[in-house]
A and B are shown apart, each in its own frame.
Chain A
Amino acid sequence: MKIFVIGAGFTGMQLARALVLERNNVVLIDNDPDRVRDASDQLDCTVLEADGNNLEALEAAGIASADALVTLTEDDEINMITCSLVDSVYPRIQKIARVRNYAYYTAADVARRRAKSAMPASRPLYGIDSMLNPEVEAADAISAAMEHGAIGSVIELDAEFGITTLSIGEGSPLVGAPLAELSKLDGWHYLVAFVESNEGATSLPNGRTTLTVGDQIGLVSRLSDIPQLVTYTKTPQEKLRRVVVFGADRVGSLLLARQQKKQHVSLWRRLFGISSGDAFQKLVLVDRDPVRCREAVERFPDVRVLCGDVTDEALLSEEDIFSCDLLVAASGNYELNLVTAAYLKSRGVKKTIALTAHSSYGDIARKLGVDVAVPMRGTVVDSIRGHLRGGRVEAVHSVCNRRFEIVEGYISPKSSVVGKRLQDVMDLGAFLVLLYRSAAGAAYEVPCGGTVLEADAHVVLITHAGDTRLVARFCGRE
């Protein structure tokens, strides 16, 4: 595929690198000479110094023959207008824009839905096929982790199924026995997707794999079953009543908006708040910037807002932050997030979630004792690659420090696996089929060796990162 990437910032570079690894023809464009020099030194792709919204420059670089355009500049407006410009001449090209302004993002979403109901054949707004909002994705990921008690990160595959990363605690019945024998356990019907051992070694499990205390495992289950999973893994768990959110910038306020919507309780429930159970959380927001604090206090009437430095010992002890149940460090300063989360965890906060710059920080976060690390930019790159993978791939999620990928897609009718039983196409250690839904089926099921793979069925695979041949074998390639 020929893919144009406008903007060679952190995300642009990360995306270009991932796309080059997958043997795509990438054209990277930026107007900053230093960045262009850096990028052309590092990456095996065409790098041009030009304004992204200069249509003539894009045409000179060969946009006419491109398959996709990704705009990742700092400016939402430039991202959107560049897509719109290219769309006016080349409507065929798939366009993806990063739009960080939440108002634009929601407005475009509303406009799309209205237009679709009025005129089903209408073009998307500005010709943008998908808008990506990294903050919204990060806030969703944090919100999902909070909902399940901050025991681990959760990848939600659809409304029903998800993959939860959990660590194995003392006394877990999973320890010792090979995975093949776990089905003897009472009520155990979950699939282990990946194992990341204490020492950092990762593997795709098979029937003979055994688990030890401290391992991180990815479990495929219904989202509603997550509480049961914990009874097997014995992951240390706490009731999260007092939640402190650090950072009132975009991710923080999106997160609070989601939590507030979730916890809308009536006056009567509030009066008898004791009986309303786990759903009721007390939220405290801490930020250094008084202007942001003021905005937050006006937006979230049920949230207590503290203005001060989260590293200020006096403030922390004055408001008794050390005894809170969960700290979510979601500020724009990702390094500070990690440090804060680790520090407060060491001072007695029961659970911590930190927003980090990218998924490579997952390891460090775990070593520092942070319970959940939500990567900021990783999610963007994943979701762009999901959109760009071509063929019939729907979405890609990176796990285990980018060593594995979880791929959602449809089996291509031309694929060589069609009509075969799963046990016949198995390649131990190379991939696993986690979930399967036949073309006619309504819901996912966990497949077994005898499952026959049909054309147009929906599958969720876990593979080694960058193993495009395997994905192509299932989902085909354009």
Chain B
Amino acid sequence: MAFSFLRILTYVLGLVGTSLLLPLGVAIWKGEAAAVPAFLAPMLTGWCVAITFWLLARGRPRVFDVQHAFGTVGGIWVAICLFGALPLYFSGGFPTFTDAVFESVSGFTTTGASVLSDVESLPASVNLWRCETHWLGGLGVIALAVALIPLLGIGGFRLIKAETTGPDKAKLTSLIANTAKTLWFIYLALTAAQALLLWRVGMPPLDSLAHAFSTMGTGGFSTRNASVGAFGLPAAEWICTVFMLLASVNFTLYYRVLTGRLGEVAHDSELRTFMALVLGAVALATAVECRSWECLGSTLRAVAFQVSSIVSTTGFMTDDYLAWRPAAQVTIFLLFFIGGCSGSTAGGIKVIRWTILGKQLRNELRRILHPHEIFTLSINGCPGRETFVPVVASFVFVYMMLVLATTFMGALAGLDVLTAFTGALSMVGNVGPAFGQLGPTANYGTLAAPLKWFYMFAMLAGRLEIYTLLILVGRACFLRRRVV
């Protein structure tokens, strides 16, 4: 079993190593001599390890079972986060290895919480790599590996299930590799479209690409200290708003649009709730925040951007929401609890879970009034989905427990209550900015090193929807009981 795990791990590392070609090319093009070895060394190491294992593993049977799928996925994510930290550390832009790993975890989990106060001093290639980690982690490196490496086809669905988000995971096509390819193709196409649009409205080409990576992964790293707001391009802000929302919609819906099944998209319960939430939050915050008719346009732009940024768990900013009126701030705060749709690149509890719990609540109330009536819970027009309720309820419970534990850790490290709580929500939900000392203009560099490590755990747990990481930790510690 250990061999199977190592084999998959090395393939994924080889793949992530290959993706370093892009920042490496940029480093050579921009003449950033110091950064070239930082990318080259990890890349070659990754390749060597992958090729060695490929040679060793030829002809060996591929075995996979349920118990190992979760452990494998958790292990791979820990490994790629460490691997992705190498170029950052070697480039010299990060003071300690802890900071480099924090940045890398924050990147791959699409959180976007940076330890740096001045990212503009980093080489362009390093900044691009930071944003690229969002893009790789957004839809999932394992999904990418299954799509690209034919060897992983067998048992691949179990791996992808452990990595994708939401309670209901379905294959789009009969072959899981084709499903993964389709999703990654849609992802690639949307990213390319956004990069081109940003470039058209006047953003420099490299920044366009970096921000497209960051938006589609719903990460939040930027090449500028003041994030998207630094460019002063209203059109670019609107483009980012739209694409942040697009990235937080279930990607299987795009497949349905492409195959002409628009009816299913129109009846998607989660999409409907999501759109209602976003429109409601924008309307509410704009009404609270708008100070005069003249500034309605700019307020709407800023509010729409910030609402999309938080609900999609991206964490970009154009305006400091801590300077807003309290009611508008609370609207933003509530969005921390929601997150995007399942099967998207966004984090958080996910809209579908709230939808299910809401419908269950309605059924409970109706049952009190009509004790003999039978109720069903339908999701996306499919009735009989009551089985999701306990699954979702226990997930929300575990999620909140993790948030509370992280809050306690933050407080232990000396943060105030508001900062500790919102910071925990932000970490577990993969958002990025928080309130208080960790507001949108602050950074995570000042935190104590032990808290940084705990935050890394929280980010990974949030990205892998907790169970995957809990099982990994649990197996290592106390679940080692064998049946026979």
The chain A residues found within 8 Å of chain B, CB to CB, are: 290, 293-294, 296-299, 301, 304-308, 315, 318-319
Q: Chain B 359-399 against A: per-residue CB contact (8 Å), 1 yes, 0 no?
A: 00000000000111111101000011000000000000000
From residue A242, how far is it (CB to closest CB) to chain B in Å? 15
Q: Of B374, B376, B378, B383, which contacts A307 at CB under 8 A?
A: B374
Report the tally of A-B residue pairs with Cβ distances under 8 A: 36
Instruction: Find the B residue at minimum CB distance from A314.
Output: B372
For A315, the chain B residues whose CB sits under 8 A away are 372
From residue B263, how far is it (CB to closest CB) to chain A in Å? 14
User: Which applies to chain B's interface (DSSP): helix, strand, loop or mixed?
Assistant: loop
From residue B276, how far is it (CB to closest CB) to chain A in Å? 15
Contact A318 B374 (CB under 8 A): no
From residue B383, how far is it (CB to closest CB) to chain A in Å? 4
A sample of 6 inter-chain contacts (CB < 8 A) reads A293-B374, A301-B378, A304-B370, A305-B374, A315-B372, A318-B371
A sample of 13 more A-B contacts (CB under 8 A), given A290-B374, A301-B383, A307-B373, is A294-B374, A294-B376, A297-B374, A297-B375, A297-B383, A298-B376, A299-B383, A301-B376, A304-B373, A305-B373, A306-B373, A307-B374, A319-B373
Question: Which 5 A-B pairs have CB atoms at the shortest separation, nearest pair first?
Answer: A298-B383, A308-B372, A305-B374, A298-B384, A293-B374
Instruction: Find the B residue at minimum CB distance from A308.
Output: B372
What CA separation (Å) do A299 and B383 show in the bound complex?
Answer: 8
For A290, the chain B residues whose CB sits under 8 A away are 374
A319 with B374, Cβ < 8 A, contacts A298-B383, A298-B384 known = no
From residue A253, how far is it (CB to closest CB) to chain B in Å? 14
What CA separation (Å) do A119 and B373 show in the bound complex?
Answer: 50
From residue A448, how far is it (CB to closest CB) to chain B in Å? 54
From residue B373, how far is it (CB to closest CB) to chain A in Å? 5
What CA separation (Å) do A308 and B374 show in the bound complex?
Answer: 10
Instruction: Find the B residue at minimum CB distance from A296.
Output: B374
From residue A312, how far is it (CB to closest CB) to chain B in Å? 9
Instruction: Find the B residue at minimum CB distance from A285.
Output: B374
Contact A318 B376 (CB under 8 A): no
From residue A314, how far is it (CB to closest CB) to chain B in Å? 9
From residue B220, how far is it (CB to closest CB) to chain A in Å? 38
From residue A267, how far is it (CB to closest CB) to chain B in Å? 11
For B384, the chain A residues whose CB sits under 8 A away are 294, 298
For B376, the chain A residues whose CB sits under 8 A away are 294, 297-298, 301
Contact B372 A319 (CB under 8 A): yes
What CA separation (Å) do A301 and B376 show in the bound complex?
Answer: 8
Contact B372 A318 (CB under 8 A): yes
From residue B204, how far is it (CB to closest CB) to chain A in Å? 47
What CA separation (Å) do A304 and B378 show in the bound complex?
Answer: 14
What CA separation (Å) do A294 and B378 show in the bound complex?
Answer: 13
For A298, the chain B residues whose CB sits under 8 A away are 376, 383-384
Q: Of B374, B378, B383, which contacts A306 at CB under 8 A?
A: B374
For B370, the chain A residues whose CB sits under 8 A away are 304, 306, 318-319
For B374, the chain A residues whose CB sits under 8 A away are 290, 293-294, 296-297, 305-307
What CA separation (Å) do A296 and B375 show in the bound complex?
Answer: 10
From residue B61, how far is it (CB to closest CB) to chain A in Å? 43
Instruction: Find the A residue at minimum CB distance from B366.
Output: A304
Instruction: Find the A residue at minimum CB distance from B375.
Output: A297
Instruction: Find the A residue at minimum CB distance from B376.
Output: A297
What CA separation (Å) do A305 and B375 show in the bound complex?
Answer: 8
What CA separation (Å) do A308 and B370 show in the bound complex?
Answer: 12
What CA separation (Å) do A294 and B384 show in the bound complex?
Answer: 8
From residue A130, how far is it (CB to closest CB) to chain B in Å? 35
What CA separation (Å) do A151 and B7 show in the bound complex?
Answer: 76
For A294, the chain B residues whose CB sits under 8 A away are 374, 376, 384
What CA separation (Å) do A299 and B371 show in the bound complex?
Answer: 21
